[in-house]
Amino acid sequence: MKLNKLSLSLAITLALGSTFSMAHAETTATHIKSEVSNVATRAEVSAKADEHRVDTSVKNDAKRIDTSVKNDAKHGSTVVKRDAKHADASAKNAAKRTDTSVKNDAKRVNTSVKNDVKRIDTSVKNDVKEDAAKVEGKKVVKTKENLPTGVYPDTKDNWARDAIQAMTQAGYLSGYADNTFKPSAQITREQAAAIYGKVLQHNLNEQELAEIATKESSTSYSDVEADRWSSSAIKLVSAAGVMEGTSKTAFTPSKTMDREQFVASAASLAKKLNLSTPVKAEKVTFKDEASISSAYLADIQYMAQRGIVASGATENFNPKQPVTRAQAATI
Protein backbone atom coordinates (compact mmCIF):
# COMPACT_ATOMS: atom_id res chain seq x y z
CA MET A 1 0.00 0.00 0.00
CA LYS A 2 2.91 2.32 0.86
CA LEU A 3 4.48 1.39 -2.36
CA ASN A 4 1.52 2.44 -4.26
CA LYS A 5 1.38 5.75 -2.48
CA LEU A 6 5.01 6.24 -3.27
CA SER A 7 4.43 5.44 -6.88
CA LEU A 8 1.49 7.77 -6.88
CA SER A 9 3.59 10.55 -5.42
CA LEU A 10 6.28 10.01 -7.98
CA ALA A 11 3.72 10.01 -10.71
CA ILE A 12 2.19 13.23 -9.43
CA THR A 13 5.60 14.78 -9.03
CA LEU A 14 6.56 13.80 -12.54
CA ALA A 15 3.28 15.06 -13.84
CA LEU A 16 3.64 18.37 -12.07
CA GLY A 17 7.27 18.62 -13.22
CA SER A 18 6.24 17.96 -16.75
CA THR A 19 3.46 20.54 -16.55
CA PHE A 20 5.82 23.08 -15.09
CA SER A 21 8.41 22.32 -17.72
CA MET A 22 5.88 22.74 -20.44
CA ALA A 23 4.64 25.98 -19.01
CA HIS A 24 8.17 27.21 -18.63
CA ALA A 25 9.01 26.17 -22.16
CA GLU A 26 5.94 27.95 -23.44
CA THR A 27 6.90 31.06 -21.52
CA THR A 28 10.42 30.85 -22.87
CA ALA A 29 9.16 30.41 -26.41
CA THR A 30 6.90 33.42 -26.02
CA HIS A 31 9.80 35.41 -24.69
CA ILE A 32 12.05 34.33 -27.53
CA LYS A 33 9.37 35.12 -30.03
CA SER A 34 9.02 38.56 -28.48
CA GLU A 35 12.78 39.06 -28.61
CA VAL A 36 12.91 37.98 -32.23
CA SER A 37 10.10 40.38 -33.06
CA ASN A 38 11.92 43.16 -31.26
CA VAL A 39 15.15 42.36 -33.08
CA ALA A 40 13.32 42.35 -36.40
CA THR A 41 11.67 45.64 -35.57
CA ARG A 42 14.99 47.17 -34.54
CA ALA A 43 16.60 45.80 -37.68
CA GLU A 44 13.85 47.28 -39.83
CA VAL A 45 14.15 50.63 -38.07
CA SER A 46 17.94 50.48 -38.43
CA ALA A 47 17.62 49.58 -42.10
CA LYS A 48 15.25 52.48 -42.69
CA ALA A 49 17.57 54.78 -40.81
CA ASP A 50 20.52 53.52 -42.87
CA GLU A 51 18.52 53.96 -46.06
CA HIS A 52 17.64 57.50 -45.02
CA ARG A 53 21.26 58.24 -44.20
CA VAL A 54 22.42 56.78 -47.53
CA ASP A 55 19.78 58.74 -49.45
CA THR A 56 20.72 61.91 -47.62
CA SER A 57 24.43 61.22 -48.26
CA VAL A 58 23.79 60.61 -51.96
CA LYS A 59 21.78 63.81 -52.23
CA ASN A 60 24.49 65.72 -50.42
CA ASP A 61 27.16 64.19 -52.67
CA ALA A 62 25.10 65.04 -55.77
CA LYS A 63 24.63 68.58 -54.48
CA ARG A 64 28.36 68.92 -53.81
CA ILE A 65 29.20 67.51 -57.27
CA ASP A 66 26.72 69.88 -58.95
CA THR A 67 28.15 72.81 -57.02
CA SER A 68 31.70 71.67 -57.92
CA VAL A 69 30.78 71.33 -61.61
CA LYS A 70 29.21 74.78 -61.62
CA ASN A 71 32.27 76.21 -59.91
CA ASP A 72 34.56 74.43 -62.39
CA ALA A 73 32.45 75.69 -65.31
CA LYS A 74 32.54 79.20 -63.90
CA HIS A 75 36.28 78.94 -63.36
CA GLY A 76 36.74 77.46 -66.85
CA SER A 77 34.73 80.27 -68.41
CA THR A 78 36.83 82.79 -66.55
CA VAL A 79 40.03 81.08 -67.74
CA VAL A 80 38.76 80.94 -71.35
CA LYS A 81 37.82 84.60 -71.25
CA ARG A 82 41.20 85.45 -69.76
CA ASP A 83 43.03 83.32 -72.36
CA ALA A 84 40.94 84.86 -75.15
CA LYS A 85 41.78 88.30 -73.85
CA HIS A 86 45.46 87.41 -73.72
CA ALA A 87 45.31 85.87 -77.22
CA ASP A 88 43.58 88.96 -78.61
CA ALA A 89 46.17 91.20 -76.99
CA SER A 90 48.96 88.96 -78.32
CA ALA A 91 47.48 89.02 -81.84
CA LYS A 92 47.21 92.80 -81.74
CA ASN A 93 50.81 93.07 -80.58
CA ALA A 94 51.94 90.64 -83.29
CA ALA A 95 50.02 92.59 -85.94
CA LYS A 96 51.55 95.79 -84.66
CA ARG A 97 55.04 94.26 -84.79
CA THR A 98 54.37 92.86 -88.31
CA ASP A 99 53.11 96.23 -89.52
CA THR A 100 56.20 97.90 -88.12
CA SER A 101 58.41 95.21 -89.71
CA VAL A 102 56.68 95.62 -93.10
CA LYS A 103 57.12 99.37 -92.94
CA ASN A 104 60.79 98.93 -92.07
CA ASP A 105 61.24 96.40 -94.91
CA ALA A 106 59.49 98.75 -97.34
CA LYS A 107 61.72 101.56 -96.19
CA ARG A 108 64.84 99.40 -96.67
CA VAL A 109 63.65 98.23 -100.13
CA ASN A 110 62.89 101.80 -101.14
CA THR A 111 66.34 102.87 -100.00
CA SER A 112 67.90 99.92 -101.85
CA VAL A 113 66.01 100.77 -105.05
CA LYS A 114 67.10 104.38 -104.81
CA ASN A 115 70.69 103.26 -104.35
CA ASP A 116 70.42 100.88 -107.32
CA VAL A 117 68.95 103.65 -109.49
CA LYS A 118 71.74 105.93 -108.35
CA ARG A 119 74.37 103.31 -109.22
CA ILE A 120 72.77 102.65 -112.63
CA ASP A 121 72.58 106.38 -113.32
CA THR A 122 76.24 106.73 -112.34
CA SER A 123 77.14 103.76 -114.55
CA VAL A 124 75.28 105.25 -117.53
CA LYS A 125 76.96 108.59 -116.99
CA ASN A 126 80.34 106.86 -116.84
CA ASP A 127 79.56 104.97 -120.08
CA VAL A 128 78.59 108.23 -121.76
CA LYS A 129 81.75 109.83 -120.42
CA GLU A 130 83.84 106.94 -121.76
CA ASP A 131 82.17 107.14 -125.17
CA ALA A 132 82.77 110.88 -125.23
CA ALA A 133 86.40 110.33 -124.32
CA LYS A 134 86.69 107.79 -127.14
CA VAL A 135 85.31 110.35 -129.59
CA GLU A 136 87.90 112.86 -128.39
CA GLY A 137 90.61 110.36 -129.19
CA LYS A 138 91.32 109.27 -125.64
CA LYS A 139 92.00 105.60 -125.07
CA VAL A 140 89.36 103.95 -122.91
CA VAL A 141 89.60 100.29 -121.91
CA LYS A 142 86.18 98.64 -121.39
CA THR A 143 85.54 95.08 -120.26
CA LYS A 144 83.61 93.11 -122.87
CA GLU A 145 80.71 90.91 -121.87
CA ASN A 146 81.54 87.21 -122.23
CA LEU A 147 78.98 86.01 -124.80
CA PRO A 148 78.90 82.93 -127.09
CA THR A 149 80.21 83.30 -130.63
CA GLY A 150 77.58 84.91 -132.81
CA VAL A 151 75.72 86.50 -129.90
CA TYR A 152 76.07 90.25 -129.56
CA PRO A 153 75.28 92.48 -126.57
CA ASP A 154 72.29 93.86 -128.49
CA THR A 155 71.02 90.46 -129.72
CA LYS A 156 71.27 88.30 -126.58
CA ASP A 157 67.62 89.06 -125.78
CA ASN A 158 66.42 89.59 -129.36
CA TRP A 159 63.65 87.44 -130.89
CA ALA A 160 66.01 86.52 -133.78
CA ARG A 161 68.98 85.67 -131.55
CA ASP A 162 69.27 82.03 -132.71
CA ALA A 163 69.09 82.89 -136.42
CA ILE A 164 71.61 85.71 -136.03
CA GLN A 165 73.95 83.43 -134.09
CA ALA A 166 73.68 80.62 -136.66
CA MET A 167 74.28 82.96 -139.60
CA THR A 168 77.23 84.57 -137.82
CA GLN A 169 78.80 81.22 -136.94
CA ALA A 170 78.34 80.09 -140.54
CA GLY A 171 80.28 83.17 -141.66
CA TYR A 172 77.37 84.77 -143.55
CA LEU A 173 76.76 87.66 -141.16
CA SER A 174 78.99 89.90 -139.11
CA GLY A 175 78.56 92.72 -136.64
CA TYR A 176 79.95 96.21 -136.50
CA ALA A 177 83.33 97.41 -135.26
CA ASP A 178 81.83 98.29 -131.86
CA ASN A 179 80.80 94.62 -131.38
CA THR A 180 77.10 95.31 -131.95
CA PHE A 181 74.79 93.84 -134.57
CA LYS A 182 72.07 96.49 -134.67
CA PRO A 183 69.23 94.00 -135.30
CA SER A 184 66.58 96.70 -135.70
CA ALA A 185 68.53 98.65 -138.30
CA GLN A 186 67.17 98.43 -141.87
CA ILE A 187 69.32 96.35 -144.16
CA THR A 188 70.90 98.07 -147.13
CA ARG A 189 71.46 96.73 -150.62
CA GLU A 190 75.21 96.39 -150.15
CA GLN A 191 74.71 94.56 -146.82
CA ALA A 192 72.38 92.10 -148.57
CA ALA A 193 74.97 91.71 -151.35
CA ALA A 194 77.63 90.94 -148.73
CA ILE A 195 75.43 88.21 -147.19
CA TYR A 196 74.55 86.63 -150.53
CA GLY A 197 78.17 86.85 -151.70
CA LYS A 198 79.39 84.88 -148.66
CA VAL A 199 76.66 82.27 -149.16
CA LEU A 200 77.75 81.80 -152.79
CA GLN A 201 81.42 81.50 -151.83
CA HIS A 202 80.65 78.91 -149.14
CA ASN A 203 78.35 76.76 -151.27
CA LEU A 204 79.67 76.87 -154.86
CA ASN A 205 82.71 74.97 -156.03
CA GLU A 206 85.76 76.59 -157.61
CA GLN A 207 84.60 75.93 -161.17
CA GLU A 208 81.22 77.50 -160.58
CA LEU A 209 82.82 80.53 -158.94
CA ALA A 210 85.30 80.83 -161.81
CA GLU A 211 82.46 80.88 -164.34
CA ILE A 212 80.77 83.67 -162.42
CA ALA A 213 84.06 85.58 -162.18
CA THR A 214 84.32 85.74 -165.99
CA LYS A 215 81.09 87.76 -166.01
CA GLU A 216 82.22 90.20 -163.32
CA SER A 217 84.32 92.23 -165.74
CA SER A 218 81.20 93.29 -167.57
CA THR A 219 79.51 94.31 -164.32
CA SER A 220 80.24 97.89 -163.35
CA TYR A 221 78.30 100.55 -161.46
CA SER A 222 79.20 104.19 -161.33
CA ASP A 223 78.25 104.48 -157.65
CA VAL A 224 80.36 101.51 -156.48
CA GLU A 225 84.01 102.50 -156.20
CA ALA A 226 86.65 99.78 -156.55
CA ASP A 227 87.86 100.36 -152.98
CA ARG A 228 84.38 100.27 -151.42
CA TRP A 229 84.12 97.55 -148.76
CA SER A 230 81.21 95.88 -150.60
CA SER A 231 82.59 96.21 -154.13
CA SER A 232 83.64 92.57 -154.68
CA ALA A 233 80.40 91.21 -153.16
CA ILE A 234 78.27 93.48 -155.38
CA LYS A 235 80.14 92.31 -158.48
CA LEU A 236 79.77 88.64 -157.48
CA VAL A 237 75.99 88.71 -156.80
CA SER A 238 75.36 90.79 -159.91
CA ALA A 239 77.37 88.43 -162.14
CA ALA A 240 75.61 85.42 -160.54
CA GLY A 241 72.19 86.93 -161.28
CA VAL A 242 71.20 87.04 -157.62
CA MET A 243 70.84 90.84 -157.50
CA GLU A 244 70.52 93.55 -160.10
CA GLY A 245 71.32 97.23 -160.07
CA THR A 246 68.65 99.85 -159.55
CA SER A 247 69.53 100.83 -163.11
CA LYS A 248 72.03 99.71 -165.74
CA THR A 249 74.72 101.98 -164.31
CA ALA A 250 73.80 102.28 -160.63
CA PHE A 251 73.51 99.85 -157.75
CA THR A 252 72.58 102.37 -155.04
CA PRO A 253 74.45 100.41 -152.33
CA SER A 254 73.27 102.46 -149.34
CA LYS A 255 69.58 102.22 -150.22
CA THR A 256 67.48 100.10 -147.88
CA MET A 257 65.60 97.06 -149.18
CA ASP A 258 61.91 96.33 -148.74
CA ARG A 259 60.43 92.86 -148.21
CA GLU A 260 59.55 92.10 -151.83
CA GLN A 261 63.04 93.05 -153.04
CA PHE A 262 64.85 91.09 -150.34
CA VAL A 263 62.67 87.94 -150.61
CA ALA A 264 62.90 87.97 -154.42
CA SER A 265 66.72 88.17 -154.30
CA ALA A 266 66.77 85.40 -151.66
CA ALA A 267 64.70 83.25 -154.05
CA SER A 268 67.21 83.92 -156.84
CA LEU A 269 70.00 82.82 -154.49
CA ALA A 270 68.15 79.59 -153.58
CA LYS A 271 67.63 78.77 -157.24
CA LYS A 272 71.28 79.49 -158.05
CA LEU A 273 72.37 77.05 -155.35
CA ASN A 274 69.80 74.45 -156.50
CA LEU A 275 68.51 74.06 -152.96
CA SER A 276 66.15 71.10 -152.68
CA THR A 277 63.74 72.67 -150.22
CA PRO A 278 60.50 70.62 -150.35
CA VAL A 279 57.30 72.27 -151.56
CA LYS A 280 54.72 72.54 -148.78
CA ALA A 281 51.89 74.21 -150.74
CA GLU A 282 51.44 74.36 -154.51
CA LYS A 283 49.03 77.29 -154.49
CA VAL A 284 49.75 80.28 -152.30
CA THR A 285 48.09 83.64 -151.96
CA PHE A 286 48.32 86.78 -149.88
CA LYS A 287 45.66 89.14 -148.59
CA ASP A 288 47.61 92.10 -150.05
CA GLU A 289 48.81 90.28 -153.18
CA ALA A 290 47.56 93.12 -155.39
CA SER A 291 50.18 95.42 -153.85
CA ILE A 292 53.10 93.11 -154.72
CA SER A 293 55.12 94.23 -157.74
CA SER A 294 54.60 91.87 -160.67
CA ALA A 295 58.38 91.66 -161.21
CA TYR A 296 58.81 90.02 -157.78
CA LEU A 297 55.57 88.01 -157.45
CA ALA A 298 56.85 84.70 -158.91
CA ASP A 299 59.94 84.67 -156.66
CA ILE A 300 57.85 85.53 -153.59
CA GLN A 301 55.42 82.71 -154.40
CA TYR A 302 58.42 80.35 -154.79
CA MET A 303 59.53 81.18 -151.23
CA ALA A 304 55.97 80.94 -149.86
CA GLN A 305 55.43 77.50 -151.45
CA ARG A 306 58.41 76.25 -149.43
CA GLY A 307 57.24 77.83 -146.20
CA ILE A 308 60.12 80.30 -146.00
CA VAL A 309 57.64 83.18 -145.83
CA ALA A 310 54.12 82.94 -144.44
CA SER A 311 51.15 83.05 -146.79
CA GLY A 312 47.37 82.72 -146.75
CA ALA A 313 44.17 84.50 -147.68
CA THR A 314 44.28 86.36 -144.35
CA GLU A 315 48.06 86.87 -144.36
CA ASN A 316 49.60 90.16 -145.45
CA PHE A 317 53.02 90.05 -147.10
CA ASN A 318 53.69 93.78 -146.62
CA PRO A 319 55.84 94.06 -149.75
CA LYS A 320 56.90 97.67 -149.22
CA GLN A 321 57.91 97.24 -145.57
CA PRO A 322 61.65 97.75 -144.94
CA VAL A 323 63.61 94.67 -143.90
CA THR A 324 65.60 94.78 -140.65
CA ARG A 325 68.91 93.02 -140.14
CA ALA A 326 67.19 90.61 -137.72
CA GLN A 327 64.53 89.74 -140.32
CA ALA A 328 67.20 89.25 -142.97
CA ALA A 329 68.95 86.72 -140.72
CA THR A 330 65.77 84.63 -140.42
CA ILE A 331 65.05 84.66 -144.17
- CA dihedral 215→217→218→224, nearest 10 degrees, is 120
Give me the pLDDT at residue 174, please: 93
Give me the pLDDT at residue 160, please: 96
Distance separating alpha carbons of residues 251 and 188, to the nearest angstrom: 11
Per-residue pLDDT of the chain (331 residues; tens, 9 = 90+): 444 555 555 545 444 444 444 444 455 556 645 654 664 566 465 556 555 664 566 466 557 746 654 665 566 556 446 655 665 665 566 556 545 554 555 455 355 535 554 554 555 455 545 555 454 555 545 556 789 999 999 999 999 999 999 999 999 999 999 999 999 999 999 999 999 999 999 999 999 999 999 998 788 999 999 999 999 999 999 999 999 999 999 999 999 999 999 999 999 999 999 988 899 999 999 999 999 999 999 999 999 999 999 898 899 999 999 999 999 999 8
Give me the pLDDT at residue 149, please: 93
- CA dihedral 12→18→20→22, nearest 10 degrees, is -150
Three-state SS annotation for the chain: CHHHHHHHHHHHHHHHHHHHHHHHHHHHHHHHHHHHHHHHHHHHHHHHHHHHHHHHHHHHHHHHHHHHHHHHHHHHHHHHHHHHHHHHHHHHHHHHHHHHHHHHHHHHHHHHHHHHHHHHHHHHHHHHHHHHHHHCCCCCCCCCCCCCCCCCCCCCCCCCHHHHHHHHHCCCCCCCCCCCCCCCCECEHHHHHHHHHHHHHHHCCHHHHHHHHHHHCCCCCCCCCCCCCCHHHHHHHHHCCCCCCCCCCCCCCCCECEHHHHHHHHHHHHHHCCCCCCCCCCCCCECCHHHCCHHHHHHHHHHHHCCCCCCECCCCCCCCCECEHHHHHHC
Give me the pLDDT at residue 219, please: 87
Distance separating alpha carbons of residues 188 and 194, to the nearest angstrom: 10
